[in-house]
Amino acid sequence: MGNVNKTDRMKELIEILNRASKAYYAEDIEIMSNVEYDALYDELLSLEEETGTVLAGSPTVNVGYEAVDGLPKETHERPMLSLDKTKDREALRDWLNGHEALLSWKLDGLTIVLTYDNGSLVKAVTRGNGEVGEVVTNNAKTFINLPHKIAYTGKLVIRGEAVISYEDFEKINAEIPEEGAKYKNPRNLCSGSVRQLNNEITAKRRVRFMAFNFVSASEDSEVDFDFRSEQFEFLKSQGFEVVEYYKVTEDNILERIQYFADTIESNSIPSDGLVLTYDDIKYGKSLGRTAKFPRDAIAFKWADETANTHLIDIEWSPSRTGLINPVAIFEPVELEGTTVSRASVHNVSIVKSLELGIGDEISVYKANMIIPQIKDNFTKSGKISIPCNCPACGENTQIKNENGIETLYCINENCPAKAIKKFTLFVSRDAMKIDGMSEATLEKFLAVGFIKTYADIYRLSAHKDAICDMDGFGEKSYDKMISSIEKSRDVLLPNLIYALGILNVGLSNAKIICKAFDYDIEKLTGVSVEELSEIDSIGEVIARSFTEYFLDEKKLLEFNDLLTEINILIPEKADANANIDGKTFVITGSLTTYENRNALKDLIESLGGKVAGSVSAKTDYLINNDVTSNSSKNKKAKELGVSIISEEDFNMLIG
């Protein structure tokens, strides 16, 4: 079995083992026996030792999370030049000049330079301006497909693109309730994710690395190639995922370009064109470079299919943040095989620059063959007036200028558009978990004034007769909703904090903050930016959002009113003699004393401990009722000197 095939098997094993672990630990479902799991785990370990490669996501390694104050800058050893471009397919064929080349996707993400030494990743730097980039090494270690260890032990420098798939992009956006806060495209999300100051956030974004260039290897190394295709095969053998590419000649390049054109709609990785590079490395280098571009490669940009149509309207769409987004509505046209009739205009600056007016003849296209955009306005009547009043509440709007970009905002704190999103978040599953209160239902209650504050939700029974007379409501649906509301009165403090919709404070951050201040509401509402910033993984941006929320007198009054209607559940505080605060545990095997692993995990965390999924040098205890078994976890624990204890031992440990 070749190294590439072994790498494929390792990827398969990682996927199987991680799926089994998630089912076992998070869902309390056993999809395979311990014997089966251990056999696959041992096979993976064996392949890792055999190939010298450890892939990202492997259950044999853990990535540590940490926050930094800033990203240091670093000058690239070799400047990263842009490529010359063309949109002409025939020009691309002529460029070959009789030579063989590689045709690949031009990926649309963030270019990264990786340096490996002695088999380990030692540095990752963004492209930056081509000469100076930002060091993002710890963030790169969380990329879901990046090898943590490779077989080649010399110094290796490669380039590639950090990308987020369309599927993951959609999932991340779906978790953001307010429309104005959603990410515009995968590239922007990826760029922000890679450059985070806290690599735990990067890890949640499922960033991938696709290698596209072998830069250099140690001078005394036997790794020396005549062709770029050989370099790609070498990178594959080291466990890297490389950009999809094909060898082309003048005879088949047009056919292959068409293949990419036909595939772009179904391609999961964002791209904005193609790259053509001479396969013969020496020939490519012999061509030298111009003042701006290397001559051994050229980029191909898609000639966007455009269509002329007429602007029917500009729809101004308010969001929970107050941002009002302009959306162009035009006569439907066919583009790239689909019918389109809407396109985001993004902001006021673009509306003005296009001089849009109702009835104008415009041309529209799909950027990168996917996202509808306005390309040009032939009439330029400029008759669009920026609304002075919010479409949702009728109150005044305000144009804000940030870095030269004008955007429209509703400045009414009580705008229904803001309130709808605000209350939708409040009743959601990870917040107060109130079933039967859809966005449409909330909109009805807000419109008639039944709900003005969070506490009003718990006083809806005063409007029973009026609610039962509403469209879509009856006695049965009313009772079901009220029952869910009553059930939600008992809530954990982190879920309550998340429900408030504090900017940048998700559920995980809420848990961290609440725990740091012993679930004390008075401490939380009076905490300072400095105190919050001292917590690991809570930076100044989150700290400032949190403190500013409770410094707002109106928000604080609303919060205190809400407290009169609910009962806050606080996890049992750690016993002073528990002696497990800060200790890391791994749980394996079947349990007898506890209902399931989650119950034991919750107890450990409530006592100040941590629970990991695999044994490492940082593990303090492995909990396994079969302490003498030869399972992979037991073997690993023995190798590292980690204590193996039973449930009974654990119960004695916590007293």
Active site residues: 106
Single out the residue of 155, 69, 56 nearest to residue 536, CA to CA.
Answer: 69
Q: Enumerate residues 6+ apart whose C-beta is below 8 A from 565.
A: 455, 458, 459, 489
d(CA 106, CA 86): 13
> Which residue bears the tokens 């769409």?
317
**What are the structure tokens assigned to 448, written together?**
């008639």
Single out the residue of 8, 19, 7, 17 nearest to residue 58, CA to CA.
Answer: 17
**What are the structure tokens assigned to 504, written together?**
């940048």
Query: What are the backbone angles phi and psi of residue 289, rounded to the nearest 5°?
Result: -155, 160
Helices (H) and strands (E) in the chain, counts: 24, 24
d(CA 189, CA 495): 26
d(CA 555, CA 525): 11
Q: What is the DSSP letter of 337?
A: T
d(CA 347, CA 184): 12
> What's the maximum distance between 2 C-alpha atoms anywhere in the chain?
85
Single out the residue of 254, 373, 368, 259 nearest to residue 304, CA to CA.
Answer: 368
Radius of gyration of the chain (CA): 29
> Which residue bears the tokens 């400095």?
530
Classify residue 191 by burial, with Cβ atoms within 10 Å: 0-12, 13-18, 19+. middle
Specify the pairing of strand 85-86 against strand 297-300.
parallel
> Which residue bears the tokens 């806060």?
181
Query: What are the backbone angles phi and psi of residue 41, rounded to the nearest 5°?
Result: -60, -45
In order, the DSSP letters of 139-171 are: HHTT-TT--SB-S--S-EEEEEEEE--HHHHHH
Q: Cα torsion at 550, 554, 560, 565 (round to 10°)?
A: -130
Single out the residue of 74, 198, 76 nearest to residue 142, CA to CA.
Answer: 198
